[in-house]
Amino acid sequence: MGNQKPSIPKGTRDFGPEEMAKRNYIFNTIKEVYALYGFQQIETPAMETLKTLMGKYGEEGDKLLFKVLNSGDYLSKVSDEELAERNCLRLASCLCEKGLRYDLTVPFARYVVMHRDELQLPFKRYQIQPVWRADRPQKGRYREFYQCDADVVGSDSLLNEVELMQIIDTVFQRLGIRVQIKINNRKILTGIAEVIGEADKIVDITVAIDKLDKIGLDNVNEELRNNGLSEEAIEKLQPIISLSGTNDEKLNVIADVLQSSEVGVKGVEETRFILDCLKTCDLKNEMQLDLTLARGLNYYTGAIFEVKALDTPMGSITGGGRYDNLTGIFGMPGLSGVGISFGADRIYDVLNTLDLYPKEAVTTTELLFINFGECETAYCLPLVTKARQAGIRTEMYPDKAKMKKQMSYANAKGIAFVALAGENEMAEGKLTLKNMKTGEQKLVSIDELIREVK
């Protein structure tokens, strides 16, 4: 290949040591909280059969799947005609049997169906793995990115919703990010549409209501009118548009408006139950009922969640909801579930912007032994071992390089302590320990050094 200048595929990223340390801090925090709530981790293969993936993400999604060329003689089953036809989509299904996973939900559904006999229901699983989408790369959007999903399947209980809100609250509390947790319910939105007799206008209505603060009530009503809502419908919507106060006050207003809609009443009851339970759960972040929250409407059937950071503008950093019939497409009907997904890339950006990474999370090596040559390293080697046995992340600079170079290595890696042993130290059986922050130096035994560094 010669002296090529290497690159990586567009939309993909390398993660260097500092980025990895920060990302691990996020992932580990999420994992620990998931485990605290009894969720168990699974992993599925990067490649799924195209049979599993195709038709699950709409027509657009099918196009965004990365397809993997069959290995070996991948042309053997393709006729001359099929080749000559040059139909990319049709030909792809001949050339490829596998694709890269597009999300974690479809592989999870496939997993549940394949392992139905081993699984204890309700099954609380979490999964943190990369997914791939052939989206047009743009700022903040990647072709490879991690999803961090938790779902409970096989239980209709709203206690699962309660628990997932607690998980969200705990994760962001541990990360030090102040958030607002928004909750809505698909059934409430359906109820609203029913009551005003405009079943297909849910999205228009939520979009218009969402603009209240910006454009004022008159303009919202005007927009609804332009969207084809009748004056009667707009009249009925007024209490909903001007909704304010506590969650309980809002729920009372909504309950009043929706009393004629069975599904609407159900949505109010569900939301009330979830919010009432959460009052006893010592949440650190605010729960807010927000009727304009309308994510995943062709997917979610009950509660809908979304999380926004309070101290920096950023889109949704976590979301989720309740869905029906996760596994029906794979021949196992009637299994509903509820899940959430943390947006690791956005959380990463929030932590960076607010400078919230704890120092321990990003420090790697704590102690560096300077290399003065063969005789000195022979003296140091057992001491290095002792420091490590005491749990101190320790390096010995491998080469007898100039002091300046070794010191700049320590600085570049953010190493807090440097140990030096020359003739004098060796004669006394000791070391000089330098605190890289204060510049302070002292002569110490290895035991003293360990106490000092720890």
Contact between 105 and a second copy by CB under 8 A: the answer reads no
130 binds a second copy (CB under 8 A): yes
Contact 405, 368 (CB under 8 A): no
- Residue 156 or 232: the one with the smaller Cβ distance to a second copy is 156
Q: Spell out a b/e string for 107-139, using b for 16 or more CB atoms within 10 Å of the CB, else e.
A: bbbbbbbeeeeeeeeebbbbbbbebbbeeeeee
DSSP H helical segments within 247-322, as ranges? 247-257, 262-279
Residues 409, 368: contact at Cβ < 8 Å? yes
Site for a second copy in 370-399 (CB under 8 A): 371, 377-378, 381-382, 385, 388-389, 391, 393-396, 398-399
Nearest approach in angstroms of CB 430 to a second copy is 17
138 scored as a contact of a second copy (CB under 8 A) = no
Q: Compare residues 157 and 352 and give the one whose CB is closer to a second copy.
A: 157
Out of 25, 111, 348, 372, the only residue in the binding site for a second copy (CB under 8 A) is 111
324 binds a second copy (CB under 8 A): no
Please report whether residue 88 would count as binding a second copy according to CB under 8 A: yes
Is 403 one of the binding residues for a second copy (CB under 8 A)? no
- Are residues 251 and 266 in contact, defined by beta-carbon separation less than 8 angstroms? no
From residue 224, how far is each of 204, 230, 237, 270, 342 by CA, in Å? 7, 9, 10, 28, 33
Q: Packing angle between helix 231-241 and helix 247-257, nearest 10 degrees?
A: 160
Residue matched to tokens 């596998």: 98
Work out whether 3 is an interface residue with a second copy (CB under 8 A): yes
Binding to a second copy by CB under 8 A, coded x per residue (else -) over 145-184, reads -------x--xxx-xx-xx--x---x--------------
Read out DSSP for 162-201? HHHHHHHHHHHHHHT--EEEEEEEHHHHHHHHHHHT-GGG
What HEC string does 224-242 produce?
HHHCCCCHHHHHHHHHHHC
Positions in 345-364 near a second copy (CB under 8 A): 364
Please pick, from the candidates 14, 60, 117, 200, the single residue that binds a second copy as defined by CB under 8 A: 14
State the Cα–Cα distance between residues 269 and 47, nearest whole angstrom. Answer: 42
Q: Least Å distance between CB 157 and a second copy? A: 4
Of 58, 77, 122, 248, which lies in the binding site for a second copy, with binding defined by CB under 8 A?
Answer: 122
When binding is defined by CB under 8 A, the residue of 139, 298, 313, 331 that contacts a second copy is 331
> What CA–CA distance (Å, rounded) separates 100 from 135?
13
For tokens 């759960």, what's the residue? Answer: 281
| CB closer to a second copy out of 63 and 211 | 63
Q: Does the footprint of a second copy cover residue 306 (CB under 8 A)?
A: no
Structure tokens at 136: 């047009």
**Residue 269 interacting with a second copy (CB under 8 A):** no
Binding test (CB under 8 A) with a second copy, winner from 25, 26, 98, 190: 98
Binding residue count for a second copy, defined by CB under 8 A: 111
Q: Is 93 in the site for a second copy (CB under 8 A)?
A: no
Q: Which of residues 222-251 bind a second copy (CB under 8 A)?
A: none
